[in-house]
Amino acid sequence: MSITLGPSTIASQFWCEMAVDLRRKYGEVSTPEKEKGSEIHKDRFLEVLEEIEVEIKTPGDKLHSNIHNMMVGLELYTNEGLTHELPILAKFDSAHIMGIIDEIKLIEEIQGKNKLKKTQIVEMKTRRSLNPPSSQQILRDKMQGMIYWYGLNSMINKETEMGDFWTAFDIDLIENNFNEPILSEAYMKSLQIPKEKQKEYGSLLSIGNLINETLKRASKLPELTKTIEIIYIHQKTLVEVHRERYNFDERFFTRGMKWALEYWSGKREPGSVGQLNSWKCDFCSYYTVCPTIHKKWKE
């Protein structure tokens, strides 16, 4: 059975896997810091792209919206050498990885006597404090950056296939007629698609062609540089407090992914942070419901 996971969810296992498990059980806990971080990311998106509000009613709507955003981002990158909030989709073992890269930009990398144009992934993290992030936070964020690198690299190297989109967005190819729309009328209306064109525009065949076109465009991107950047900025002042540059480490990434997916496949129970990292519990939104904390209280 396939499962679809976000890079930030997997990376969070490297901070505290128990908190990931509790989020699955109790839902996301909103905080002022998270809301502010989302606001800053949205502002960066609007610096380069226009936002169009749409009504998402069906899995088909969600798929089309994702593909549309992917295509728009790839077109902008091709024309300008920069884009923000680029969706990616890839597969690792039996899991589909679906997320949104903060930024990709075109850079020049010197190799020997040659200057080569390459694509670089840049992740931005917001901080409530002006202090640099801890080594544990950086480890988590490095893993997230590597997952994005793997995802985009899979698309560039034609390892992501059309079937991955149908599976990741739960589109049934048997139940749906290829010439019938899988997009809702409300969604197509919000895109201002004329009534007479909606059946053709929203069909499985039409969306399949759009996926094909998007994957072809992704495969034409310049090769990824192995260097990934993470920029940490202060939420209130937007001042940069730390910048981390590191290389994609295939061995670390593969081992980390296999370890993380053991939890999602039910091969093991979620792990807690342990005594040395128990300071993380002071920053956790699930402190009152965490079984590890309850066990410590009893002891």
pLDDT digits (tens, 9 = 90+) for 191-211: 999 999 999 999 999 999 999
**pLDDT at residue 299 greater than cutoff 60:** no
**pLDDT at residue 293 greater than cutoff 90:** no
CA 180 from centre of chain: 30
pLDDT single digits (tens) 37-86 = 667 666 666 666 667 788 899 999 999 999 999 999 999 999 999 999 99
Confidence of residue 174 (pLDDT cuts 50, 70, 90): confident
- Asked whether the beta carbons of 182 and 204 are under 8 A apart, the reply is yes
Look up the pTM and report it.
Answer: 0.91
pLDDT single digits (tens) 39-52 = 766 666 666 666 77
Residue 111: its H or E element: strand 95-111
**pLDDT at residue 297 greater than cutoff 60:** no
Q: Which of 152, 158, 159, 160 is nearest to 225 (CA)?
A: 152
Confidence of residue 177 (pLDDT cuts 50, 70, 90): confident
SS3 9: helix
Average pLDDT, the chain: 91
* pLDDT attached to residue 32: 64
Q: Which of 106-115, 171-180, 184-193, 286-295 has the highest mean pLDDT?
A: 184-193
- Asked whether the beta carbons of 287 and 296 are under 8 A apart, the reply is no
Cβ neighbours around 33 below 10 Å, total? 12
